[in-house]
Amino acid sequence: MIDARGLSCPQPVLLVQRFVKANKPELVEVVVDHEAAVQNITRYANSQGYCVDKAADGDDTKLTLRK
């Protein structure tokens, strides 16, 4: 799981990009704490062929990226 809470944009999406490029996973879980990160990661994930599920948990959002 990638914990990108507390990071300002574009750091959360850059973490996800590096992880995806290095590992080519079928499943990635990411936790973020602001809407801009949710939107940026969702756009990137969709461009790479991932479906994104979102689950809010208080101020945090867990994104599950699946191929």
List the chain residues with pLDDT less than 70: none
Q: Which of 36, 33, 40 is nearest to 60 (CA)?
A: 33
Whether this model's pTM surpasses 0.75: yes
**Residue 62: its pLDDT value, please?**
98
The fold of 2-66 is Translation Initiation Factor IF3 (3.30.110)
CB-based contacts of 3, cutoff 8 Å, min separation 6: 30, 31
Arithmetic mean of pLDDT over the chain: 97
